[in-house]
Structure 1
Amino acid sequence: MTALKARLTDNAAWTTASPAVSVLIPFLRDDPSDLLRLLDQEAATVDGAVEIVVLDDGTADAELTARLVRQVKAMALPVRLITLPANEGRAIGRNRLASTARGGSLLFLDSDMRPDHSRFLADWAKLVATEDPAVAFGGFSLLQAPTDARYQVHRSMAARSECVPCAERARQPEKYVYTSNLLVRRDVFDSEAFDPGFTGWGWEDVEWAMRVSRRFRVVHLDNPATHMGLDTVEALARKYEQSAPNFARMVERHPGIVAAYPSYRAAKLLKTIPGLPLLRGLVRRMAGTDALPVATRAFCLRLYRATLYADAV
């Protein structure tokens, strides 16, 4: 694949910075300005240890770009904005961010995350200075996430599967690794980059963690950020539809590990059921029915995902 021509915007602090931690923020059609503002409030407390690299992965919004350029140039933290004319994809984009970063540790942070406290960057920088872990995950929360009724199904699902306490995550460290609020030491990333064969949405972070956990220790800590980007049922269903080929790729590469996943066991069972397309349509409609309890709708959406994966495995 031919590399896309990128537009680079650096602020004044970027040129002379020697960071230990590079915060890597990819986005597509989102606005990362609130996250950048919150991170920049910690500039005085991290004492030059942190830089930020932001990747616009093909949003093609001239107004947003102009606004971000102004914001980046005014920031106290060292910042580089990379603007691409077209989308490269999540895995390739993260690899591009890593190749631009100068820190010895890379902190992947999605643009729809918000730190849950005012020492977020300082705590990450302190961890790197004192322990220099190979891989560390700080955790997700829903503390600041929207509470609109249209997001209640996603909120329910995220609370169950993603917003897991640190002690519980540490018992299965390789399972609870997501590419947001994830710290990776540079030598680890250089030896195990994200697989560019994963396209669209889903599973590239889990597959990466499977490879990494075989060679390096994964640390979990309590330094959470809120996942602000809750989706409606319709949006989640579309993402699950995109993710089926990625799930199949992961199964092909790591059959022994994936065999223990509930999503895989459910998909294999559903594959044997006659009339699977009818069931898929039914649970999809039930997930979108506002009159049903949130727990029921969340179960139906998980079952819908399993029916999609049944065709992939």
Structure 2
Amino acid sequence: MSAHLHDNPAWVTAEPVLSVLIPFLRDDPEALIRQLDQEQTALAGRVELILLDDGTGDAALTDRLRAVLDGLALPARLITLAANEGRARGRNRLTQAARGRAYLFLDSDMKPDTPHFLRTWADLVMTDDPSVVFGGFSLDQAPIDARFAVHRALSGASECVPATTRALTPEKYVYTSNLLIRRDVFEAEAFDPAFSGWGWEDVEWAMRVSRRFPVRHIDNPATHMGLDTVKDLARKFDQGAGNFARVVALHPDIVRTYPSYRAARALKRLPGLPLVRPLIRQAAQADILPVRVRAFALRLYRAAVYAQAV
């Protein structure tokens, strides 16, 4: 696939130990990379940034980001694709450009919660050289608009949890939003390009990796700034049904322990589920209902969608 590379002046001579890999599609990562660049003095040349525009097709955005990169102190490269490759293929491509001995996958809609976010990761690589570590994410800086209230409720309850909780089922709480992977581990287990659309490619990767390498959790979080409306979340759940089916087929022993799987199995036995599913979705989108009720309805809708795959 056609790809255009743009390197900033600091790129050529850099010898990083950590490569920060930031894919994006129709998002603007400028705020994130400017914040990361504020740490450059403490990093002492140990970190590089690599961005992948996965087929946005916005020439104005590309030109502006090139100018931003040229002004950064951190070494940085922008890879611009002419067409979308997808989440798994795009992240695999990012690693091919990386020069560090570890990769930090960081989503473009994340915002580090501390001024020493990258230094914490770089120090960990230098001192411990861990195989896989997830830093966690929060909602501390996320927008509080009412239209995102259901997403906040879902994430706060099931995803934004401390490292001690995540470590109990380490493969379950692995997301490419803030994930450190040692180079040799990724060379042994890359993301599965058969996944398409939204969701599960990172969790499936963690299931594979956890059979061969230790998966650690620490508290070095970043805020997920890109909250969604209920309508957008429901659309993503629809897109993720095929990916969920692939995870079930590949790792039935692990997935069977997940509440989402058990709920999907239970709903599959419900007569008339295809007729009920749109009603559940309508309840989740009903602003008149309390947020906790809508969040429950959205979880139920997700299970109803996944019921098609189990």
- Confirm or deny a common fold (TM above 0.5): yes
Amino acid at match of 1:62: A
Which residue of structure 1 lines up, in the alignment, with residue 15 of structure 2?
18
Which residue of structure 2 lines up, in the alignment, with residue 46 of structure 1?
43
SS at match of 2:203: helix
1:310 and 2:310 correspond = no
SS at match of 1:171: coil
1:33 and 2:37 correspond = no
Shift of 1:172: 1.8
Shift of 1:282: 1.0
Which residue of structure 1 lines up, in the alignment, with residue 129 of structure 2?
132
- Cα deviation code 1:172-219 (max 9, x no counterpart): 212111111100000000000000000010000000000001111111
- In structure 2, runs of 5+ residues without a counterpart are none
Which residue of structure 2 lines up, in the alignment, with residue 242 of structure 1?
239
Alignment partner of 2:156 out of 137, 141, 159:
159
Shift of 1:23: 0.1
Amino acid at match of 1:59: T
- Distance, in Å, in 2 between the alignment partners of 1:144 and 1:61 is 28
- In structure 1, runs of 5+ residues without a counterpart are none
- Cα deviation code 1:103-137 (max 9, x no counterpart): 00000000000000100000100000110000011
- Distance, in Å, in 2 between the alignment partners of 1:147 and 1:278 is 33
Which residue of structure 1 lines up, in the alignment, with residue 84 of structure 2?
87
- Distance, in Å, in 2 between the alignment partners of 1:33 and 1:238 is 27
Which residue of structure 1 lines up, in the alignment, with residue 3 of structure 2?
6
- Distance, in Å, in 2 between the alignment partners of 1:307 and 1:237 is 11
Which residue of structure 2 lines up, in the alignment, with residue 181 of structure 1?
178
SS at match of 2:21: strand
- Distance, in Å, in 1 between the alignment partners of 2:279 and 2:169 is 34
- Distance, in Å, in 1 between the alignment partners of 2:12 and 2:273 is 58
Alignment partner of 1:98 out of 76, 95, 116:
95
1:108 and 2:105 correspond = yes
SS at match of 1:230: coil
Cα RMSD after superposing both structures: 0.6
Which residue of structure 1 lines up, in the alignment, with residue 200 of structure 2?
203
Provide the identity percentage.
66
Which residue of structure 2 lines up, in the alignment, with residue 119 of structure 1?
116
1:220 and 2:221 correspond = no
Amino acid at match of 1:41: Q
Aligned residue pairs total 310
- Distance, in Å, in 2 between the alignment partners of 1:288 and 1:47 is 49
- Distance, in Å, in 1 between the alignment partners of 2:106 and 2:121 is 12
- Distance, in Å, in 2 between the alignment partners of 1:8 and 1:148 is 37
Shift of 1:166: 1.4
SS at match of 1:158: helix
Moved over 4 A (4+): none
- The TM-score normalised by the length of structure 1 is 0.98
